[in-house]
Amino acid sequence: MAKKEKEEVKKQFPIESRMPHPKGKLLAIGGREDKGEEKSELQSHSQDFIKEEILKCFVDNLKGSNPLIVIIPTAASEPEKTANDYVKVFTHLGVTNLHVLDIRDRSDAMKPENVEVISKAAGVMITGGDQLKLTAILGGTPLLEKLKERYTKENIIVAGTSAGAAALSTPMIYEGEMNKGMLKGDVRITTGLEFLKNVAIDTHFIQRGRIVRMAQCIATNPGCIGVGLEEDTAILVTEGKKAEVIGTGLVTIVNGMNITRSNIYEITNQQPFTVCGLEVHLLSSKETYVFPTFEQLHA
């Protein structure tokens, strides 16, 4: 196709209409979402607190009669206990068709019977723990590919809390507590599970003071959007780009596309970095944000 013809196609069919979007939904949760038990300090003081709001949102978005929820506690240090907590709360919310998929190593994620469970799920909950365990165990396996295929083509909801939320994104922060990320090299980043591309999710964001480590992540990846999720706070993402805030706290958006100056590539490790021109948005419940999308060069 000639260049002129390509330009005419772009005018007739805007980027939003030419790029297919996922049919599934993502629910990324900042951790410590209310399960109907003891309230946190933030929940106790917030007039906007709604009991079990985030997990009710997950349940409300399940499709089909007697929908199946699959719980994946792979990231947890105590998988059985963590899974049982979600079995208890989902049962309380009226869902009885539950399956705990106990994936402990890569061989479990390659078993046809476990992949088959994913093929039947109406919703998948990926628990908290260690996000690096999730990428190391699930990455490149038939189980993950089946889940991503269904998220792309079907009306399924995929939720992750804490580490489970961080792993939904790419790039994925997996370490960075030392010095709160203010020194170059303090923040470690790898490829996540890639449900959201060019989006970096961090959790427990305000509670654990993670704005600086997110700034370093975005300074090194300015084409990405940083999303900081506070505890008992989530974003519900539809069409792969439209995010709505749910829950008690704030969502912090860090946009580095208009960075005016940075020295992150000039300094050596363990030196403080400079970055100017970051855009930061603080969004409360029911606010929305649309992630920028770009046409792929190979399309």
pLDDT digits (tens, 9 = 90+) for 204-244: 999 999 999 999 999 999 999 999 999 999 999 999 999 99
What pLDDT is attached to residue 198? 96
Cα angle: 170, vertex 166, 23; to 5 degrees: 65
What pLDDT is attached to residue 180? 81
What lies within 8 Å, CB to CB, of 122 at 6+ separation is 62, 63, 64, 67, 68, 69, 156, 157
What lies within 8 Å, CB to CB, of 107 at 6+ separation is none
pTM of the model: 0.90
Q: Which of 33, 53, 99, 162 is catalytic?
A: 162
Q: Which of 99, 169, 231, 262 is catalytic?
A: 231
What pLDDT is attached to residue 51? 87
What pLDDT is attached to residue 15? 46
293 phi, psi to nearest 5 deg: -120, 145
Give me the sign of the Cα torsion angle 26, 226, 74, 139.
Answer: positive
Mark the ranges of the chain whose per-residue pLDDT is less than 70.
1-19, 38-49, 177-178, 294-299
* 204 in active site: yes
* 239 in active site: no
CA 110 to chain centre: 23
- Give the SS3 label for residue 105: coil
Level-2 CATH architecture, domain 24-283 = 3-Layer(aba) Sandwich (3.40)
Q: Which of 194, 204, 230, 262 is catalytic?
A: 204
What DSSP character marks residue 294?
Answer: -
135 phi, psi to nearest 5 deg: -70, -35
Give the residue among 46, 88, 69, 79 at the shortest CA–CA distance from 247: 46
